């Protein structure tokens, strides 16, 4: 009777049966031990923050959750990305720990309109996550990014010049 139930389950789920030569059979396990769509929902999250999270994971070999929520994990990943880029591009010798401390602040470079690259991308990503949209998060510091930096600076009582320097970065990662 149990064998009949097992065979019915195998047939119902379209699984292959591992029948032994002695006539007994047991259903085979699905090719994946996880049910379909069980863990994919995290990777199927949509939205700008989810795109930022996916990019951080692929660009910096991280494994943060892709949930389209800006929380401590995503903030830490953005700091790790910034630290990595400061080390790669400017040989800063920072520990890539995701903590925006005094060494990371001192290592920050000034980013202004016309800049392109991964540090600009990180700037745009953190601006978006903090609620100040820089337009497209494309690594190109254009007029919309400059406007977003100026808005953020104004909201945080910083010098409003549209240039992201150590003080602006510190406030963004506060």
Tell whether 39 is covered by a domain. Answer: no
- Predicted local distance difference test score (pLDDT) of residue 44: 79
Q: Per-residue pLDDT tens for 66-92?
A: 999 999 999 999 999 999 999 999 999
When divided into structural domains, the chain yields a total of: 1
Higher pLDDT, 88 or 5: 88
Tell whether 29 is covered by a domain. Answer: no
- Predicted local distance difference test score (pLDDT) of residue 6: 67
Tell whether 150 is covered by a domain. Answer: yes
- Predicted local distance difference test score (pLDDT) of residue 7: 66
Question: What H or E segment, with its residue span, contains residue 50?
Answer: helix 48-60
Alpha-carbon distance 122 to 85, whole Å? 9
Q: Per-residue pLDDT tens for 18-73?
A: 544 444 444 444 444 433 333 334 467 899 999 999 999 999 999 999 999 999 99
Higher pLDDT, 118 or 16: 118
Tell whether 107 is covered by a domain. Answer: yes
Tell me, what CATH number does 111's domain have?
Answer: 1.10.101.10
Tell which phi-psi region holds residue 100, choosing left (phi > 0), alpha (psi between -120 and 50) or beta. Answer: beta
- Predicted local distance difference test score (pLDDT) of residue 18: 53
Count of helices and strands (H, E) across the chain:
8, 2
Tell whether 5 is covered by a domain. Answer: no
Tell whether 105 is covered by a domain. Answer: yes
Tell whether 21 is covered by a domain. Answer: no
CA 120: distance to chain centroid?
16
18 three-state secondary structure: strand
pLDDT bucket at 3, cuts 50 / 70 / 90:
confident
Tell whether 100 is covered by a domain. Answer: yes
The percent of residues in the chain predicted with pLDDT above 90, rounded, is 74
Task: Taking residues 116-144, report their average pLDDT.
Answer: 97
What residues make up the domain containing 151? 46-172
| H-type alpha helices, 64-157 | 72-90, 102-107, 118-129, 143-155
The percent of residues in the chain predicted with pLDDT above 70, rounded, is 76
Alpha-carbon distance 27 to 165, whole Å? 62
């Amino acid at each position: 009777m149990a064998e009949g139930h097992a065979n019915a389950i195998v047939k119902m789920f379209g699984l292959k049966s591992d029948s032994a030569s002695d006539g007994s059979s047991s259903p085979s396990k699905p090719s994946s031990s996880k049910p379909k769509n069980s863990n994919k929902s995290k990777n199927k999250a949509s939205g700008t923050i989810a795109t930022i999270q996916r990019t951080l994971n692929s660009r910096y070999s991280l494994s943060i959750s892709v949930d389209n929520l800006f929380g401590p994990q995503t903030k830490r990943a953005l700091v790790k990305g910034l630290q990595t880029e400061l080390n790669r591009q400017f040989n800063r010798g920072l520990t890539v720990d995701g903590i925006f401390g005094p060494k990371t602040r001192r290592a920050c470079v000034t980013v202004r309109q016309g800049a392109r690259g991964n540090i600009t991308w990180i700037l745009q990503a953190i601006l978006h996550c903090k609620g100040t949209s820089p337009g497209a998060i494309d690594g190109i510091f254009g007029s919309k990014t400059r406007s977003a930096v100026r808005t953020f600076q104004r909201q945080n009582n910083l010098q409003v010049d549209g240039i992201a320097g150590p003080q602006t970065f510190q406030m963004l990662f506060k």
